[in-house]
Structure 1
Amino acid sequence: MKLEDIKIFSKVVELGSFTAAAKAFDIPRGKVSRKVNELEQHLNTQLFHRTTRSLSLTNHGETYYKQIIQAIDIIDSAGAQVSRDNPALTGRVKLGLLPSTYTHVQPTLFKFQDAYPEVQLDIRTITNGLEDLINQGLDIAFHSGSLGDTNLVAKHLLAIERCLVASPEYLARYGSPQDSSELVEHDAVCFRHPSGHVEEEWPMNGIVVPVSPRLICDSIGFIMSATMEGRGISYLPRVMILEELANGSLVEFLPSEDVYREDGWLLYPPRQTLNQASRTLIDWIVNDSIRLAGEE
């Protein structure tokens, strides 16, 4: 019985399926099934109740899982203690980023990799952190909005505030709206969500305000550049456009409006199931978000 096999078993429990565990380890599903079967044979007991639609722990499986999680934590803690004497952190981290977070998170990730050059960052584009962390077998994922009911660990990073912006040229040509009710009279550059929903109504002042989309795109980066080119007004996360607001390529208007805010989260499974590189990156991102929040 190898530690790798025990970790595969714990990942199946954590993610709820052999397929998800296989994706997490980038191995064939058949290997996961075989390793669990071998573990059951070694222990001479059944760990899972299996049906075509569900997978659940037996009583013996639940008892075994609680014990091995503690053992994995002790082993990983011992490894972390040894690694303090050896600063060369190694390993691979599979990280899910929302398209809207790339520009903001990239400097943090590059600083991390400069500090730990032996760590491989495997970055995936995701649409929903809650779902994609499991479906793609990720170690860490960003998520915005509500959390719902989840067994994942969720670290609050920041409150993402939207702001109404346009280019100086657009406002000089068409004028600046004096009230949210005037937004519908202007060309709007609107975001299309992965679900297909188009933001044709912008939440503010406790209501949703209708706008008139001239351009629709599922890329926040495209929306930002189109707005800078004077193609219309947009409703963008402030944290993404701090530099553009500072250099004047985008201008905020109606700043007194009660704009929309949503929470940004960092999601990950219980830390015991993550390698040292993933745990170090989690702490790095959280600490950097605290530092950035203090600068705003």
Structure 2
Amino acid sequence: MTPLGQAGAASRGDGPRRRPWIALTLLGVPVLAALLGPWTAGGTAVARGRGLPSQPPGAGHPLGTDVLGRDVLWLVLHGGASVVASTLGALLVGLAVGVPLGLLAGGPRRAVDETVMRGLDLLLALPGLLVLMTLAATGHRDWYWLVLVAGVLQVPAVTRLVRGAVLAPATRTVVEALRMQGRGWAYIHLGHLTRELAAPLATDTGGRFSVVLYLLASANFLGLGLPASSPDWAVLIERNSDALFTQPAAVLVPAGLLTALCVGGNLLVDHVLANRGKGR
């Protein structure tokens, strides 16, 4: 092999080893800010005091102030918890409902399969933001409503994934063999199928994290979710968008953290998928 070819092979070999660190760094910064931010910021919004609105970084306010004169650094350190918690909560709702429905639809009864899947097709046809706008218009603006509805909107996709895995020829053959051995429903579905579904579900959940994050951030940015006084990163972007050129840190810092969270999650999922492909 020529030196140029060896260099190219080396660079290709180093790529997969470098990518996880990039992904983990991008993902780790906003996650650590969300988990440790409230502990390191200290005090309360009142204790921190307020300055003049939309002031650039300076003494006492390392990232400046927002349109209400609040310290941007304090808000950023307290705003990530709601982002991560609401996204994970919506994912858990989607999995808790979608996995049992997928197992049910993939069962031997075709009538049950048709009933479940056709009902979910109706939900799949509804645009997510339109559902959240309708929810907000009816007065249901509490955070738990936002998380619940965002999670329910993920149910059709999760159900289809589980149903497809259950209906795969190899899986059906093993299930039929277990039934012939006298194994019960609980052993087959909660034992064997759960283990078989763990890897594809984990991969799908990693990619779905970005979908839910985008949906919730869009809802908060449009004023459909958390109140305007919330330090949530998406709310901060919306409240300070008019001051982008006078106080860019109030917009770019939370926007950068949201972007890093989304891109880091996608890169990590891509790395996992690439490693699974090599392992086959």
Q: Quickly name the TM-score band, shorter chain normalised.
A: under 0.3
* TM-score, with length taken from structure 1: 0.23
Give the number of the structure whose residues are more often helix, by fraction: 2
